[in-house]
Amino acid sequence: MKILTIQEVESFLKAIESDYDVQAPIKLHDGTRALGKLDEGALAIAGGRIPQKITNVFFPQMETVLTAGSEKIELPKPLSKPLLVVGFTAQDADCLKFIDRFYSENYRDDIYFNKRDGAVIVCVSGRCGVDGEFLKIAGENCDIELISDGRNYLLAAYTGTGKSLAEKTGGVEADDDLIEQLQKESDALPTDDLELIQKASKLLLEEKVPDEFWVNISDRCIACTSCNLACPTCTCFDVFDRKLDGKTRRYRMWDSCQLDGFMREASGHNPMGTENLRTRRRIHHKLAADVTRWGQITCMLCGRCDDVCPTGIGIKSVCRAMVDKYGSL
Partner 1 sequence: MKKILTTCPYCGTGCMYYLVVGDDGTLLGVEPSSEHVVAKGQLCVKGWNAYHFVNHPDRLTGPLIRRNGKMEPASWDEALDLVVSRLKETQTVHGNNSVAFFSSAKTTNEENYLMMKLARAAFKTNNVDHCARLCHSSTVVGLAATFGSGAMTNSISCMEEADCILVTGSNTTEQHPLIGSRIIENVTKRGARLIVADNRKIRLARLADIHVRWKNGTDVAFLNGIMNVIIAEGLEDKEFVKTRTENYEELKKVVADYTPEKTAEICGITPEEIIKVAHMFAKADKAMIVYSMGITQHTHGVDNVKSCANLAMLTGNIGRPGTGVNPLRGQNNVQGACDMGALPNVYSGYQKVTEPDIRKKFEKAWNVDSLPGEVGYTVTTAINAAAEGKLKALYIMGENPMMSDPDQNHVREAMEKLDFIVVQDIFPTPTTAYADVILPATTYAEKDGTFTSTERRVQRVRKAIEPIGQSRTDWEILCDVARRAGYNGMKYNSAGDILDEIAIVTPIYGGMSFERIDQIGLQWPCPDKEHPGTPVLHSAKFSRGLGLFSPAEYRPSAELPDEEYPFVLSTGRCYFHFHTGTMTRRSQLLDREERFPYVEISPEDAKELGIADRSWTYVTTRRGEVKSMAHVTDVAKKGVLFMPFHFEEGPANLLTINALDPVAKIPEYKVCAAKIRSA
| Contact positions vs partner 1 (CB under 8 A) | 28-34, 36-37, 40, 51-52, 60-63, 219-220, 222-226, 229, 238, 240, 242-244, 253-256, 259-261, 268, 307-312
CB of 307 to partner 1, least distance (A): 6
CB of 9 to partner 1, least distance (A): 22
**DSSP assigned state of 38:** G
CB of 152 to partner 1, least distance (A): 26
CB of 137 to partner 1, least distance (A): 25
CB of 31 to partner 1, least distance (A): 5
- Between strands 73-74 and 237-244, the pairing is unpaired
- Would you say 67 or 161 has its CB closer to partner 1? 67
- Would you say 181 or 311 has its CB closer to partner 1? 311
CB of 308 to partner 1, least distance (A): 6
Contacts of 31 (CB under 8 A, 6+ apart): none
CB of 130 to partner 1, least distance (A): 11
- Would you say 296 or 317 has its CB closer to partner 1? 317
- Would you say 84 or 297 has its CB closer to partner 1? 84
Residue 308 and residue 227 in contact, taking contact as beta carbons nearer than 8 Å: yes
- Give the other-Cβ count within 10 Å of 271's Cβ: 9
CB of 86 to partner 1, least distance (A): 16
- Would you say 169 or 279 has its CB closer to partner 1? 279
- Would you say 60 or 150 has its CB closer to partner 1? 60
Collapse the DSSP code of 183 into the 3-class scheme (helix H, G, I; strand E, B; otherwise coil) and give the result.
Answer: helix
- Cα separation, 194 vs 276, in Å, equals 25
Q: Amino acid identity of 15?
A: A
Residue 294 and residue 181 in contact, taking contact as beta carbons nearer than 8 Å: no
Handedness of CA 79, 250, 298, 128 (dihedral sign): positive
Residue 54 and residue 90 in contact, taking contact as beta carbons nearer than 8 Å: no
Contacts of 185 (CB under 8 A, 6+ apart): 126, 127, 134
**DSSP assigned state of 58:** T
- Would you say 208 or 237 has its CB closer to partner 1? 237
- Would you say 87 or 162 has its CB closer to partner 1? 87
- Cα separation, 289 vs 75, in Å, equals 33
Concatenate the DSSP letters of all residues of 213-263 into one string: HHHHHHTT-----HHHHH-TT---EEEEEEEETTEEEEEEEE--TTSGGGT
- Cα separation, 57 vs 110, in Å, equals 15
